[in-house]
Amino acid sequence: MARWTQPLVQPLARIADLALPPRCPGCSAITPADHRFCAACWTSLRFLGPPWCAACHAPFDHDRGEGARCAACIADPPPHDGIRAAVAYGEVARAVALKLKYSGRLACAATMARAMTRLMPGEAELLVPVPLHRWRLWSRGFNQAALIAASLSRTHAVPLAPGLLRRTRATPVLRNLGARARAKAVAGAFALAPDARAALAGRTVVLVDDVHTSGATANACARLLKRGGAREVILLCWARVLEGGEGAD
């Protein structure tokens, strides 16, 4: 059976590749392989990494020395242990995020995870996706953060705990709110699962999301995870809105 099946599978695979060729996650132009950006989209992405603030990991334009912090973190230290974002939020990063979130292009979750993997903390012991409220999960059909976290878990063999953190109260869309209003909107909106403390005790937790905007959601989740016993909480995301940059949807 296998002797006859193999010659048939290869031509069918070639036909499928011609009919449905790989597309750029940003603009949908044909590319050589899945999850690859075309040259124009690739060069327009701003990849983030050190040198950065020792507290929040906001990028610096030059190396300020070990332990240097940005002015915002000096004035108000964050409750988390850094935000690691693969790229700065911009036109292409936005297109990929929206295709996943609102167009159901689930393969974009793997695209994001592939870009995020270089920033995965080596000390990571648990992956926790930022949760959706059950009504939003029901209407969308999936949690984009959970899909990204699942891809990272497979690549790095770090346990995934999708139900450990829960959103118990629906919150309004935050994009049109100021920083103070965002923080107020998410206050008390999250809770830990009953058995969360045993899973969190003394562990380094990677909180996974698609886009980091003001930090209201990440801060609320980080505080709760640390109260639950986590030693460190590091946010890992696809894109980060930088000061003076384009705002997220």
Q: What is the DSSP letter of 21?
A: -
Q: Domain with 92 in it: what CATH number?
A: 3.40.50.2020
139/76 same-domain check: yes
Q: Classify 110 as helix, strand or coil.
A: helix
Q: Which residues pair with 240 in a beta bridge?
A: 88, 212
pLDDT for the residue numbered 174:
62
**Per the domain annotation, does 77 fall within a domain?**
yes
Which residue pairs, CB below 8 angstroms and at least 24 apart, start in 54-61? Answer: 55/82, 56/80, 56/82, 56/83, 57/82, 57/83, 57/84, 57/85, 58/83, 58/242, 58/243, 59/88, 59/242
User: Lowest-confidence range among 52-61, 151-160, 180-189?
Assistant: 180-189
Question: Model-level pTM?
Answer: 0.88
6/115 same-domain check: no
pLDDT in tens, 18-42: 457 899 999 999 999 999 999 999 9
pLDDT in tens, 46-100: 999 999 999 999 999 999 999 999 999 999 999 999 999 999 999 999 999 999 9
Q: Is the pLDDT of residue 3 over 70?
A: no
135/147 same-domain check: yes
117/212 same-domain check: yes
User: Lowest-confidence range among 17-31, 35-49, 122-136, 197-211?
Assistant: 17-31
Structural domain for 214, as ranges: 46-240
Extract the runs of DSSP E, i.e. beta strands, from the chain: 83-88, 126-129, 165-167, 190-192, 204-212, 232-240
